[in-house]
Amino acid sequence: MASRNIVKIGSATLRKKSKPVLSFDEDLGALLDDMKNTMIERRGVGISAVQVGILRRAIVIELDEEEDEFLEIINPEIIKTRGSVVASEGCLSVPGFYCDIERPKYVKIKAFDRHGKPFEFEAKDYIARCVCHEIDHLNGVLFVDYTDEGKAYKKEQGVE
């Protein structure tokens, strides 16, 4: 597993919509492994392929640090949400900035694993927040886009 560079706010790459994964092969497995390693090294809890410069719909989320449990999500689609909660968020691509964001309290997605096997996944609270945050990345959306505080930060940094 290699570590990759994180694409930072201000890069046009982060604003592009990622394309579906079509090949569930060794290259995808290597990408997912590299994403996981990169996320762990940078002490993140979620990462999307676009954050390492690859415009594909792939995500890795840490489910349990103590159990070394991770969720790999390929071509995710949100099929249900419920409730809402406001909590602080940060991002590997926006280092050092945090702000409160409203997200669903519960989310259900359908996706594929690294081998192309379809599955559904339900998450609540913190993991639901992570799933939504990372899916936003796949659509070219950053958490700083949602609040006045985030918009002020972007202006202050001279980025879109």
pLDDT in tens, the chain (160 residues): 788 999 999 999 999 999 999 999 999 999 999 999 999 999 999 999 999 999 999 999 999 877 889 999 999 999 999 999 999 999 999 999 999 999 999 999 999 999 999 999 999 999 999 999 999 999 999 999 998 898 898 888 888 7
How far apart CA 125 and CA 129 sit, in angstroms, is 6
Domain ranges of the chain: 12-157
- The residues annotated with a catalytic role in the active site are 134
Query: Residues with Cβ < 8 Å from 47, sequence gap 6 or more?
Result: 35, 36, 38, 39, 59, 60, 92, 134
The CB density around residue 116, as the number of other CB atoms within 10 Å, is: 14
pLDDT value at residue 70: 95
CATH for 12-157, options being 3.40.50.2300, 3.40.50.300, 3.90.45.10, 1.10.3720.10: 3.90.45.10
- Contact (CB, 8 A) for 120 and 126: no
The answer to whether the beta carbons of residues 93 and 142 sit under 8 Å apart is yes
Tell me the H-state helices in 1-147: 26-41, 125-138
pLDDT at res. 35: 97
